[in-house]
Amino acid sequence: MFRNNHITPAFILVFLVFVFLIGVSFLPSDLSIFGIEIKPVDLFSELKQNDDELNYTFTSLEDSEDVNENIKLNLDDLVNVITEPIEENNNGGGLSKFYTKLRELQKGTNIRIAYFGDSMIEGDLFSKDLRSYLQKKFGGSGIGFVPITDNNAGSWATINIQFSDNFLNYSVIHKKPAGYNYGINGYVYLTDTTNTVDSTGKVKDFWVEYSGKNFVNAKLFFTSYSDTAYITYTINNKTTKQYLGKNLSIGISEIKSINSSKIKINFYGKLALYGVSFENEPGIFVDNYAVRGHSGLNLTRIPKSVLQAFNSYFDYNLIILQYGANVLDESVHSYGWYKEGLVKTIKYLQNAFPDASILVVSAADRSRKDLNGFSTIKNVFSLIDAQESAAKETGAAFWNLFKAMGGVNSMPVWVEGNMASPDYTHFNHSGSSALSKKLTLSLLKNL
């Protein structure tokens, strides 16, 4: 019957073995034959949710520490009910320096916060609402530091940024030409007038235009390699020329009494540009320093002298570090290497900003799709442990964003509630606003 077909009997044999193994996988775990324990074989073990690996509290509510991860989560509870305290780790100072300055805040003085992060805070996410909440309570106005260019400029809700396409941009996750330094936001923007021309052979202008709420004062941060370098700025159709001269350190050019919702700046000469800070009345300032794809560990590529130079202008009181999304990988099961790198980074920043407290914000929940739908990537627990351990070791404060948003399997609820993106990783403006409110309340709770 099978004389001319050798494939069919082989297929039947494989099929019978497969059926047998399926049957074996349903045997009870305590089965024994003639005193010999029979261990069942589970062909579907990789497809099933391993409850042992989900040994993590889904919420920080005191009366709900051990909630089953399969419970139906409610968006309103995740947004409005669940809170998460900040771990101060006072053995190393925690937030004591920041709280002292906040308590002593007088009219006419400033408190400044640097909010470092990856694409999770890109477009002023998280920082814009923290800024808004704190400015309403303690005073101040102005967006603070903004970049020269931004590939995601259209996502900013607080300012509109338009710019020429001829800047040479480099971030801390990319190699830059020798002889230049990254700025405090992890970027440097170069003008190279020798190589940038239009179709007619005319040198193209380097320019950036900011528009938004009323601007009062602005500070441009730069390094100049030309004795004749200068800028022009245009406000309400009036153009003013301002010489920069040669300055091989971090220079600052002030533009005062703007009183307009739009300003355009043109750049002339060989310059390394770092950004512009818009500052109105004194009070709270929160600067957004986002680098897409960044783990946070490359902050040590910014020379300490550069950080100290910026700090001499800004005098930071709090440094916030929100990273993790770019190191979370299902194939990585141990994050000891990340903890070591984060400890090094925190100590580096503590040395550069000696009067500032440091707050580490954990990774958020992130989902993967399996046969049961979307569920938490298990590796996130090891990553958060590494972040928390790094904070404790360095005396930095720690805020568990994962718990604050609801914990295990909470991201799908935020996505379905239109508060997070369908990539099940990033929050949108609504989601980041809600979480920023939680962070603000946690910050002020111990004040």
- What does the alpha-carbon distance between residue 10 and residue 21 come to, in Å, rounded to a whole number? 17
| Strand pairing category for 187-190 and 230-235 | unpaired
Look at residues 280, 299, 322 and tell me which one is the last residue of a structural domain. Answer: 280
Q: What is the largest CA-CA distance in the chain?
A: 97
End position of a domain, from candidates 233, 249, 280 = 280
Judgement on whether residues 445 and 334 belong to the same structural domain of the protein: yes
Q: How many structural domains compose the chain?
A: 3
Name the phi and psi angles at 210, rounded to 5.
Answer: -110, 135
Q: Are 333 and 379 spatial neighbours (Cβ–Cβ below 8 Å)?
A: yes
DSSP 317-339: SEEEEE--TTT--TT----HHHH
Which tens digit of pLDDT belongs to each residue from 330-356? 888 899 999 999 999 999 999 999 999
Question: To the nearest whole percent, how much of the chain has pLDDT over 90?
Answer: 68
**Rounded-to-5 percentages of helix, strand, coil across the chain:** 30, 25, 45
Residue labelled with tokens 């718990």: 403
Which residue bears the tokens 């099978």? 2
Distances (CA, A) of 409 to 309, 363, 400, 406: 43, 14, 15, 8
pLDDT tens-digit profile of 191-232? Answer: 975 655 555 666 789 999 999 989 999 999 999 999 999 999
| Residues 303 and 398 placed together within one structural domain of the fold | yes
Tokens at 315, concatenated: 């005098």
Within 10 A of 102 (CB to CB), how many other CB atoms are there?
19
Are residues 211 and 335 both part of a single domain?
no
Tell me the pLDDT tens digit for each residue of 347-391.
Answer: 999 999 999 999 999 999 999 988 888 999 999 999 999 999 999
* 240 and 94 inside one domain: no
Rounded to the nearest 10 degrees, the angle between the axes of helix 336-352 and helix 380-394 is 40
Q: Is residue 119 a contact partner of residue 290, using CB atoms and an 8 Å limit?
A: yes
d(CA 67, CA 411): 16
At 44, the pLDDT band (50, 70, 90 cuts) reads very low
Region 28-54 average pLDDT = 42
CATH assignment at residue 151: 2.60.120.1360
**269 and 188 in one domain?**
yes
State phi, psi for 115 to the nearest 5 degrees. -110, 100
Give the Cα separation of 102 and 420 in Å (integer). Answer: 32
Amino acid 198: pLDDT: 57
Containing structural domain, residue 28: 1-45
Strand partners, 263: 210
Report the pLDDT value the prediction gives residue 248, as an integer from 0 to 100: 95
Q: How far apart, in Å, are the Cα atoms of 419 and each of 9, 125, 415, 427?
A: 55, 12, 6, 6
For residue range 291-342, what is the model confidence (pLDDT) as tens digits? 999 999 999 999 999 999 999 999 999 999 999 999 999 888 899 999 999 9
Query: Are 235 and 254 a contacting pair, CB within 8 Å?
Result: no
Alpha-carbon distances, residue 181 vs 111, 229, 248, 305, 345 (angstroms): 27, 18, 11, 10, 18
The secondary structure of residue 203, as a DSSP letter, is: B
Q: pLDDT at position 201, please?
A: 62
What confidence tier does 47 reach under pLDDT thresholds 50, 70, 90? very low
CATH of the domain at 333: 3.40.50.1110
Whether the predicted pLDDT of 82 surpasses 90 = no
Q: Are residues 39 and 71 in the same domain?
A: no
On average, the pLDDT of the chain sits at 85
Distance CA 320, CA 115 (A): 5
Whether 235 and 95 share a structural domain:
no
Give the per-residue pLDDT at 315. Answer: 96
- Together in a domain, 110 and 178: no
Q: What is the torsional sign of CA 418, 421, 423, 427?
A: negative
Q: What is the pLDDT of residues 377-432, one digit of tens each?
A: 999 999 999 999 999 999 999 999 999 999 999 999 999 999 999 999 999 999 99
- 39-60 as b/e, with b when 16 or more CB fall inside 10 Å? eeeeeeeeeebeeeebebbbbb
Q: Which residues of 183-216 are buried (b: 16+ CB within 10 A; e: fewer)?
A: bbbbbbbbbebeebeeeeeeeeebbbebebeebb
Q: DSSP secondary structure string, 214-264?
A: EE-EEEEEEEE--TT-EEEEEETTEEEEEE---EEEEEEEEE----EEEEE
Q: Which of 236, 253, 280 is at the close of a domain?
A: 280
Give the CA angle between residues 60, 63, 66 to the nearest 5°: 65
* Residues in the chain, total: 447
Q: Is the pLDDT of residue 151 over 90?
A: no
155 and 243 in a single domain? The answer is yes
pTM of the predicted model as reported, rounded to 2 decimal places: 0.83
Whether 185 contacts 274, CB under 8 Å: yes
> Cα–Cα distance between 156 and 150 in angstroms, integer?
10
Asked if residue 57 has pLDDT above 50, the reply is: no
108 and 175 inside one domain: no
- Three-class secondary structure of residue 138 per DSSP: helix
Please check whether residues 216 and 116 belong to one and the same domain. no
CA distance 244 to 267: 10
User: Do 289 and 381 sit in the same domain of this protein?
Assistant: yes
